[in-house]
């Protein structure tokens, strides 16, 4: 029997409070009555849950009755204090429990484990957690490693090379660790992460949709899955091009009826085997009697089933130890006493192989459950079907030909004749052109005509066509439908197949099959006449940012060359070689000369300026390499920009079209495309709808809209599949921009039609075999003038952006840095030599050199002679004599210190230097 006791007990001081962590918990207890195999033995177990876990309490009650346990439950609210949890666990120890079943998870599990470790009480948890290296815990929930392996195998089996992992904020990603590593260990895979924040996930999902993501792995708690699915459907991420894998083992316990017919591929896992498991169905029956809400067996979550398996594993272990298990008496948190038989009992539980509702329960040395068996399930229009199993770390896919619900009445459509509504809308339906008198179904041809023929071959039915041009709209006054929808509702037809868009409004009146084609809305417009190249088209070879950087680099390099030239010792040359000891030295690197050298290199004309020192030569060499790459890239692309004529579109986006005054635009007057504009909350789209209606720009059929595009300044909104069809036959038309909105075509039928699941199965089979794509290629690109225009190639040449030229800029930058480093070393060496030569301080010479170099003015430099503060003129005479001897050696050897250089000096400068030289010689 189950008692609920809410107790307010005074806090007890005990040594276990150091393990406290912020959490809230629920405490319940289990007592096992003396068993027939062990007279007098009193065994007790306790379970810990959150207060509002009503389903888990009911599961505990039912399981206790099955295995002859008497239980009582102690509760703590979710906002309860840790001291309460600590007090209740210690009280349970004093009441001679033999173990604790934990249904809380998170930090509460860590706290309970800390207490159980001290008391040496077996601790069994049913929640996902990653506690490691603990002796007294048994985790019945499959280990993270098991999920990690099966996720990796499923992604490989689906051949996903690009996918997104959706995870809840703060939730562990350890169950998808291998998937995250694919992105770093293999260039073949592109893995992205999207964090789901707060309670509204639509912004994150919209961002994923705009990024083009179609494959998703969802790793989050089970309670968050319904809202994720709802928001994904609302933003259009549950169409037939989308595919999902859910890590949660309870996906298919949810009611997924509303998602069955969207075409989305949804894969999940299941722990329990519901086929031929009589005990499980009996448990479900008893559970429904205990619990307020009725559940089918396959709606029981894994946590409910794990509660049963936790009780079962305790029962099996105590049965094995029936002659050796003694009641734990006098356990106390305050005294630190522990149960001598606790480790033995837990070892029996770890090593005992038990078959539970969640299949075989086996554990490793840390108490983690391994070698888990999963069923792999997939959502289909026929319901949930098992497509494979995960067993012994191997994934086996064995997709059945038909789901169980399909084959119950597989002959229901055979040998029956159905009335099928069609529309003569190209390329979905045509009236066949023939010189003979045609009757019946032979009068028509087209994509949907062939599609219904393929379905009839699979399902064994016959059909007769009837043309209906009105798809169906709802009168706002009478609230009645017309067209195809009306006929389906009134049983005047069985199916409607054409470019029949699935909308929520239409779904309120009729049912649709799983989509056989997905599409969007595009803008059809006449191809503009080609424009000759602009006057300054030669500037378009590089993007603006490249031109900006080129100018900045040249100016910056000019400054660098001046600085390097001024601090490089060898760049200061004797302007008159015949003068051995000049008063001044000159430098060729003025700003004008530096810029001239740079510009001459870019123009491939060279310059009379020739660097002498190593550093300027290195920088110049790197600059020449840079200009070689830039010039070669420019010349190689220039021809195309001067000769190719481009299409200049008057608009490229909806916003630009809306602002146009000279271009009219419209859509079919009756259809889902116009409805998209009519019901859109976007003010631009709503404004476009108003203009289309007020100016009478709407047309009755696609053919009229296409003709207006060809003959007028008119843009036509139409579904992307139809747009693609017309582009193949009207070579002067093109699609402007990308498609927007997302919708699908389906086969319409009466609400609650018994034939829906068979039609869905036939369409799914045609999709998987590629037949639908083959039919589309035939009617879009081959028949009725298809392929007339061939492949349109975009002749517009792409500009060379900074990312294309980045390597050349990097080489230039690195070379300049190396040159600067060498020039600084050269300057320091020159400073050191002058310090030794003239017996001055290094600091003084360095400061004087930098002052002169950083002035960036003047191309002459005086030869410094420093007198010693205390000393004679002998040292100066000796230094000058050394200079003269060195100069004489240079003359004798026939070499000048400034060879390979062209000097340009004014006569006044020569005469001034000559006079200074004469005075100096005379003074000597």
How many other CB atoms are there within 10 angstroms of residue 261's CB atom? 21
Any known ligand binding at 362? Answer: no
Any known ligand binding at 143? Answer: no
92 by Cβ neighbours in 10 Å (0-12 / 13-18 / 19+) ranks as buried
Q: Reduced to 3 DSSP states, what percent helix, strand and coil does the chain have, rounded to the nearest 5?
A: 45, 20, 40
**3-state secondary structure at position 800:** strand
Q: Are 481 and 509 in contact (CB under 8 A)?
A: yes
Q: Which of 44, 126, 36 is nearest to 342 (CA)?
A: 44
Stretch (H or E) spanning 365: none
Cα(515)–Cα(80) distance, rounded to whole angstroms? 50
Q: Are 549 and 802 in contact (CB under 8 A)?
A: yes
Handedness of CA 708, 712, 714, 715 (dihedral sign): positive
Q: Which of 653, 658, 747, 651 is nearest to 697 (CA)?
A: 658
**3-state secondary structure at position 322:** coil
Q: Are 378 and 267 in contact (CB under 8 A)?
A: yes
Q: Are 763 and 456 in contact (CB under 8 A)?
A: no
Please calculate the CA angle 619-623-626 and round it to the nearest 5 degrees. Answer: 140
861 by Cβ neighbours in 10 Å (0-12 / 13-18 / 19+) ranks as middle
Please calculate the CA angle 239-776-699 and round it to the nearest 5 degrees. Answer: 80
Pairing of the two strands 511-512 and 748-749 = antiparallel
Buried b vs exposed e over 464-495: b needs ≥16 C-beta within 10 Å? ebeebeebbbbeeeeeebbbbbbbbbeeebbb
Q: Which residue's entry shows tokens 């810029």? A: 595
Write the CB contacts of 923 (distance below 8 Å, at least 6 apart in sequence): none
Q: Are 677 and 667 in contact (CB under 8 A)?
A: yes
DSSP state of 692: H
Q: Are 499 and 746 in contact (CB under 8 A)?
A: no
Any known ligand binding at 719? Answer: yes
Q: Concatenated DSSP letters for 162-203?
A: EEEEEEETT---GGGHHHHHHHHH-TT-EEEEEEE-SS--HH
Give residue 552's region: left, alpha or beta (phi > 0; psi -120 to 50). Answer: alpha
CA 276 distance to own-chain centroid = 41
Tokens for 813?
Answer: 């930058």
Q: Are 109 and 319 in contact (CB under 8 A)?
A: no
Q: Which of 728, 691, 730, 725 is nearest to 709 (CA)?
A: 730
Cα(267)–Cα(694) distance, rounded to whole angstroms? 48
Which residues make up each annotated binding site for L-glutamate?
501, 506, 672-673, 719
Which residues make up each annotated binding site?
501, 506, 672-673, 719
């Amino acid at each position: 029997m189950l008692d609920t006791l809410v107790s307010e007990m005074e806090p007890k001081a005990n040594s276990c409070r150091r393990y406290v962590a912020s959490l809230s918990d629920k405490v319940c207890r289990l007592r096992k009555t003396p068993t027939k195999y062990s007279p007098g033995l009193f065994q007790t177990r306790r379970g810990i849950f959150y207060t509002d876990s009503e389903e888990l309490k009911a599961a505990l009650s039912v399981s206790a009755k099955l295995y002859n346990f008497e239980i009582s439950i102690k509760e703590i609210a979710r906002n309860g204090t840790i001291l309460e949890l600590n007090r209740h666990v210690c009280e349970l120890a004093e009441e001679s429990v033999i173990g604790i079943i934990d249904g809380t998870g998170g930090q509460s599990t860590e706290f309970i484990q800390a207490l159980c470790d001290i008391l040496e009480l077996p601790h069994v948890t049913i929640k996902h957690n990653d506690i490691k290296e603990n002796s007294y815990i048994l985790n019945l929930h499959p280990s993270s490693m098991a999920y990690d392996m099966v996720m990796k195998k499923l992604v490989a089996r689906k051949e996903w090379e690009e996918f997104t992992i959706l995870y809840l904020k703060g939730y562990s990603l350890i169950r998808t660790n291998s998937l995250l590593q694919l992105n770093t260990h293999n260039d073949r895979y592109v893995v992205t992460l999207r964090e789901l924040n707060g309670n509204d996930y639509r912004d994150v999902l919209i961002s994923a949709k705009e990024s083009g993501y179609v494959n998703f792995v969802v790793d989050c708690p089970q309670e968050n899955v319904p809202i994720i699915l709802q928001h994904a459907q609302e933003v259009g991420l549950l169409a037939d091009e989308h595919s999902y894998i859910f890590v949660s083992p309870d996906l298919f316990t949810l009611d997924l009826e509303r998602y069955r017919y969207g075409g989305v591929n949804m894969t999940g896992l299941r722990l329990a085997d519901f086929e031929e498991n009589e005990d499980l169905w009996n448990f479900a029956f008893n559970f429904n009697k205990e619990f307020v809400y009725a559940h089918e067996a396959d709606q029981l979550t894994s946590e409910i089933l794990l509660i049963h398996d936790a009780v079962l594993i305790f029962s099996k272990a105590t049965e094995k130890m029936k002659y050796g298990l003694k009641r734990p008496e006098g356990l106390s948190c305050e005294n630190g006493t522990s149960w001598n038989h606790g480790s033995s009992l837990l070892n029996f539980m770890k090593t005992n192989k038990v078959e539970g509702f969640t299949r075989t329960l086996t554990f490793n040395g840390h108490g983690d459950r391994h070698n888990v068996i999963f069923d792999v399930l997939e959502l289909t229009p026929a319901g949930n079907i098992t497509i494979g199993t995960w067993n012994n770390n191997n994934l086996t896919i064995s997709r059945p030909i038909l789901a169980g619900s399909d084959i119950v009445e597989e002959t229901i459509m055979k040998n029956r004749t159905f009335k099928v509504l069609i529309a003569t809308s190209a390329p979905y339906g045509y009236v066949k052109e023939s010189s003979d008198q045609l009757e019946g179904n032979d009068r028509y041809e087209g994509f949907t005509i062939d599609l219904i023929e393929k379905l009839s071959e699979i399902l064994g039915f016959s059909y007769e066509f009837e043309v209906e041009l009105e798809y169906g709209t709802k009168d706002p006054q009478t609230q009645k439908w017309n067209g195809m929808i009306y006929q389906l509702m009134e049983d005047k037809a069985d199916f409607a197949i054409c470019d029949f868009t699935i909308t929520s409004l239409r779904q309120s009146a009729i049912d649709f099959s799983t989509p056989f084609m997905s599409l969007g809305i595009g803008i059809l417009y006449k191809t503009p006449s080609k424009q000759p190249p602009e006057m300054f088209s030669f500037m378009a070879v590089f993007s603006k940012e490249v031109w900006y950087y080129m100018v900045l680099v040249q100016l910056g390099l000019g400054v660098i060359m001046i600085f390097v030239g001024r601090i490089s010792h060898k760049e200061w040359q004797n302007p008159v070689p015949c003068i051995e000891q000049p008063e001044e030295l000159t430098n060729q690197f003025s700003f004008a000369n530096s810029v001239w050298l740079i510009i001459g290199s870019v123009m491939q004309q060279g310059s009379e300026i020739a660097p002498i020192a190593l550093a300027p030569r290195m920088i110049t060499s790197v600059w020449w390499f840079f200009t070689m790459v830039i010039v070669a890239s420019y010349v190689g692309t220039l021809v195309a920009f001067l000769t190719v004529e481009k299409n200049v579109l008057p608009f490229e986006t909806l916003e630009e079209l809306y602002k146009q005054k000279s271009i009219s635009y419209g859509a079919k007057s009756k259809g889902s495309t116009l409805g998209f504009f009519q019901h859109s909350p976007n003010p631009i789209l709503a404004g476009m709808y108003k203009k289309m209606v007020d100016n009478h720009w709407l047309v009755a059929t696609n053919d009229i809209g296409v003709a207006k595009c060809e003959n007028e300044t008119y843009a036509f909104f139409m579904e992307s599949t139809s747009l693609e069809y017309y582009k193949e036959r009207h070579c002067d038309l093109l699609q402007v921009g990308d498609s927007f909105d997302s919708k699908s075509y389906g086969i319409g039928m009466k609400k609650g039609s018994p034939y829906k699941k068979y039609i869905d199965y036939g369409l799914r089979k045609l999709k998987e075999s590629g037949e639908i794509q083959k039919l589309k290629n035939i009617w879009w690109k081959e028949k009725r003038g298809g392929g007339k225009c061939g492949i349109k190639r975009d002749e517009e040449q792409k500009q060379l952006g900074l990312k294309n030229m980045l390597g050349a800029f990097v080489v230039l930058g690195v070379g300049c840095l190396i040159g600067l480093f060498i020039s600084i070393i050269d300057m320091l060496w020159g400073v050191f030599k002058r310090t030794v030569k003239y017996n001055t301080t290094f600091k003084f010479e360095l400061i004087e050199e930098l002052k002169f170099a950083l002035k960036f003015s003047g191309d002459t430099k005086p030869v410094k002679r420093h007198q010693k503060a205390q000393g004679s003129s002998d040292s100066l005479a000796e230094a000058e004599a050394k200079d003269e001897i060195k100069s004489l050696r240079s003359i004798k050897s026939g070499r000048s210190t400034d060879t390979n250089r062209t000097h340009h000096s004014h006569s006044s400068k020569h005469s001034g230097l000559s006079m200074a030289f004469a005075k100096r010689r005379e003074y000597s």
